[in-house]
Each structure stands twice: as structure tokens, then as C-alpha cells.
Amino acid sequence: MAEAAAVNTWLVKSEPATWSWQQQVAAGTTHWDGVRNAQACNFLKAMRIGDRAFFYHSGEERRIVGIVDIVREAYPDPGDPSGRFVMVDVRAVRALPRPVTLAAIKADERLHHLALVRQSRLSVMPIDPASWALLLALSGAEDGPLAD
């Protein structure tokens, strides 16, 4: 019997004025495009169907507000005339019971290694399983790391 592939966990950032959690929920499933940083693009390319990502409002809010599933792996971003960048499709899963602010993340030394703290301008980043579980706990979520 084949072993199930590991689910990776991520964080994707958006300015709420550009694309908000509320818009994501209303859309249900949509593409995550416009990423023009090479490192963030490589993270998009590493995403697999079934992976999960925190949805983070950047700008003035600076907080994790929801969870999305990756439902389509990387494909060319038609908004990139160079052809170098990609996008993925994401589906809204659920809002967090309580948003987790960047201030709360920075205040917890167990999370200081995250790119969210160390590379503030990076818009797509991996989140290790222990940090995913901790961030869920900070949000008031009761279930395990991949519960709906």
C-alpha cells in the first residue's frame, strides 16, 4: 500500500486592499498570482495539491486571518510577460477563530525562526509543522494542524 504524501504548510500574504480574506471566502477558489520575488516563486513551485497555507493580511493589519488549501499546483502567471513567474490556485478553508498578529508572533521566541519574522517582505513562505500547530493554538483553534 502506498504511503500518503506529506502535506506541507505555508503562509501567503496579501494586502487587504488588494485581495482580502473576505474576497477569498466570497470567491471560494481562485488563483494566487502576482508573486515577483524569486524565492517566493520557488516556494509556489514547491506547493502541492492538498498543502495548506495561512492567509496573512499584510500592510497595516499584519495578522494571520484564515487558512486556504492548495488546489492546483504551479502554472504560468499570465500577468508576467517574462514567463518566469508562476501562480497556484487556492481554496478558502476557514477563518481562524482569533487572528494571530505579527506582534504576537514576534513576542513568542519559539517563532523567531520564521521567515515572517526574519524576512518581512517575503510574500510566500514555508511554515514548519511545529510552528503551524503553535500558530493554530494561538488562534484558538482546537484541532490538529490540518483540521477544518
Q: In sequence order, what are the residues at sequence separation of 6 or more whose Cβ sits closer than 8 angstroms to the Cβ of residue 44?
A: 32, 35, 74, 86, 87, 88, 124
Cell 499584510 sits at which residue? 58
For the stretch 85-113, pLDDT in tens is 999 999 999 999 999 999 999 999 999 99
For the stretch 24-80, pLDDT in tens is 999 999 999 999 999 999 999 999 999 999 999 999 999 999 999 999 999 999 999
Confidence of residue 4 (pLDDT cuts 50, 70, 90): low
Map residue 33 onto helix, strand or coil.
coil
Map residue 47 onto helix, strand or coil.
coil
In the chain, the percentage of residues whose pLDDT exceeds 70 is 92
Nearest Cα to 91, choosing from 143, 47, 27, 146? 27
**Is the confidence at residue 144, as pLDDT, over 60?**
no
Spatial separation of the C-alpha atoms in residues 25 and 87, rounded to whole Å: 18
Residue boundaries of the structural domains of the chain: 9-139
Its pTM stands at 0.92
Confidence of residue 6 (pLDDT cuts 50, 70, 90): confident
- Say which CATH architecture domain 9-139 belongs to: Roll (3.10)
54 within 8 A of 24, measured Cβ to Cβ: no
Spatial separation of the C-alpha atoms in residues 47 and 135, rounded to whole Å: 20
pLDDT of residue 11: 98
pLDDT of residue 7: 87
